[in-house]
Structure 1
């Protein structure tokens, strides 16, 4: 009796578990069938055709701007600031007085030294007259002459020291912020103010030795800066370093740029482009069309097929591309895309190979512009 009861329980349990397992498998089969037969969503993207155009390759570089003349004005002697002859940010001319240090002590020493020099000159002239009558010896005259030269040298030294007490502008330029005050005691080398000649800017950068044949003095250079986005400044190559850095294989280059409007400032970082002489024909696409990846850069190309109802079906094909130079928002494509093919320029994040797409006139991710009243 007990054995029969156990058999009944086992049979009932098997039926229950079998039913549950069958239901789970049936549900999974139905879910898989639903997703397999569900229509693919149509994603909205923007696209533009790849274009074949003339492309002049460039040598890119990054440099730093500096003024053609720039210096921190300082004094070579110490002293109290007696007067200041400039304002912060002022334009000055070469030779203009910027600052004067107190020189009363030196002026007093100069007057004393000049009196001693005058006495030494009188003594020398007297001994010259006495030498003609053999009253004094040549040795005595030589001693007096040496004393006169010593006195004259001391006078010249004091005059030079007094001249250094007056600080003059070494060249035309624009002053920065004043660093001193009246009555302040200056030590030699203390900065008074910064002076920059902004009429012309220099840009120092380096290029690879393989591009040495492309770069020459007088060649046109294009420059862009973050301070003035969308604007290009043109200059020329002013100088090349005579020696290549053996450790890096790079050569130093200096370019010159006119700066009549004073929009360029020393210390700015700049992107440099030196155009090569040859012109190539190349397929180009917008930078926004490229998905950059460590495993290979790729673009999504729009393909068109005719549907059963006669409507055009657009899908995307992911292609790995070989890229070249980049410039003005475009990138050169050496391999992977042909001229005239549509490439997706926005909305790539949600795409995968074979996704259905609808091409919009504007970027669907950007808010629509406000209507003009």
Structure 2
């Protein structure tokens, strides 16, 4: 009796378990069938045509900017500051007075030395008159002339000391932040303020000895900076070191860039491009059209599908970037419609709708 009851329970359990398993499999099959028949969403994208352009290859380098003239202004003598004639950030002209140190003691010494020199001059003139009548000897005249020169030299020395008590701008430029205060005693050589001539900027950079032919004086050069990423500055190579660094095989060069607007500043890092003379025709696309990946860079192009426009992913080999565009060496033909926005939502075969406006900007406008 117990064996029969146990057999019935096992049979019932097997039926129930089998039913549950069959239901789960049926549910999964229906879910797969639902998603398989679910229509693919249409993704709004914008496109640009891959263009065939004339492209001038270049050599890339990294440099540092410096002003054509730049210095920390300091006094050549120590003293107490009695007058400050400038403000921080002020534009100044060459020889403009900036600062004056106390010179009362030197001026008093100058008056005393000037009186001694005047007396020596009178004595020398008297001796020259007396020598004509043989009242004094020629040696006395020579001695008085020598004493006069000594007195005049002392006067000139004191005047030079007084001149050094006043600091002038050595060239036209823009002042930095003032580092001293009125009434402060400063030592000789202490920094007063920084002065930079921003009219022309110098860019120091290094190139490989393999590119020495291109890094010649007078060759046009281009530059971009982090502060102005969308702006290209034009200049020329002004100087090239005559010696190659034996340890690195690099050559130091210097370029000059006009800076009439003053937008470039000393100390900025710069990306340098030396243009090669040869010009080639290449396929280019906007930089934002490229999806960068460890498995390879790719772009999405729009092509005609069975149910309308759809996206196709193409792996590409990229080249140089410039002015917001990048060269595609391999994997893309000119004339293809390349997706520039919305590619993050795309996969191979996704349905797309090409929009004239940027969908990201439209969404931002709606949020506002």
Q: TM-score range by the shorter chain?
A: 0.7 to 0.9
Gaps of 5+ in 2: 131-138
- 1:330 maps to which of 322, 325, 333: 325
Give the corresponding residue for 1:135. none
Aligned match of 1:22: 22
Give, in whole Å, the separation in 2 of the partners of 1:96 and 1:360.
61
The 5 A counterparts of 1:114-193 are 158-193=158-193
Aligned to 2:133: none
CA RMSD of aligned residues (A): 3.6
Counterpart of 1:242?
A: 242
Identify the residue that residue 72 of structure 1 maps to in structure 2.
72
2-structure distance, mates of 1:77, 1:101? 9
Residues 90, 22 of structure 1: CA spacing in aligned structure 2 closer, same or farther, 3 A cutoff? closer
Deviation at 1:60, TM superposition (A): 2.7
Query: What secondary structure, in the 3-state scheme, does the structure 1 residue paired with 2:21 have?
Result: helix
Matched, 1:43 2:38: no
Q: Displacement of 1:71 after TM fit?
A: 1.1
Alpha-carbon shift at residue 184 of structure 1 (Å) = 1.6
Matches within 5 A, 1:167-246: 167-228=167-228, 230-246=230-246
CA distance in 2, matches of 1:250, 1:320: 35
C-alpha deviation, 1:227, in angstroms: 4.1
- Structure 1 residues 90 and 32: alpha-carbon distance in aligned structure 2, compared to 1, 3 A threshold: closer
Q: Which moved more, 1:87-96 or 1:292-301?
A: 87-96
The 1:326–1:116 alpha-carbon spacing in structure 2 relative to 1, beyond 3 Å, is: same
Q: Deviations over 1:77-111 (max 9, x none)?
A: 11111223334444333233222211222344455
Residue in 1 that maps onto 2:2: 2
Greater CA drift, 273-282 or 160-169:
160-169
CA-to-partner distance for each residue in 1:20-49, whole Å, 9 max, x for gaps? 111112222222222223333332222222
Choose which of 351, 355, 359 in structure 2 pairs with 1:360.
355
TM-aligned CA distance change 1:262 to 1:13, over 3 Å: closer
| Structure 1 segments unaligned to the other structure (5+ residues) | 130-137, 139-143
Worse-matched range after superposition: 291-300 or 355-364: 355-364
Is 1:62–2:57 an aligned residue pair? Answer: no
Across the two proteins, how many residue pairs are aligned to each other?
Answer: 357
Partner of 1:141: none
Aligned pair in 2 of structure 1 residues 110, 213: CA closer, same or farther (>3 Å)? Answer: same
Deviation, 1:322, is 0.7
State the shift of 1:368 in Å. 6.6
Query: Using the alignment, how far apart are the partners of 1:76 and 1:215 within structure 2?
Result: 40
Distance (Å, rounded) in 1 between the aligned partners of 2:282 and 2:325: 11
Distance change (3 Å), C-alpha of 1:2 and 1:69: same
| Aligned counterparts of 1:84 and 1:198: Cα–Cα separation in 2 | 23
Tell me: CA distance 1:16–1:319, structure 2 relative to 1, closer, same or farther (3 Å): same
- Using the alignment, how far apart are the partners of 2:57 and 2:264 within structure 1? 26
Please give the alpha-carbon distance, in whole angstroms, between the structure 1 residues aligned to 2:91 and 2:361. Answer: 47
Q: CA deviation at 1:114?
A: 6.8
Q: Distance in 1 between matches of 2:86 and 2:34?
A: 83
Q: CA deviation at 1:15?
A: 1.1
Shift in Å at residue 291 of structure 1?
0.7
Query: Is 1:280 aligned with 2:280?
Result: yes
**Distance change in 2, residues 1:247/1:294 (3 Å):** farther
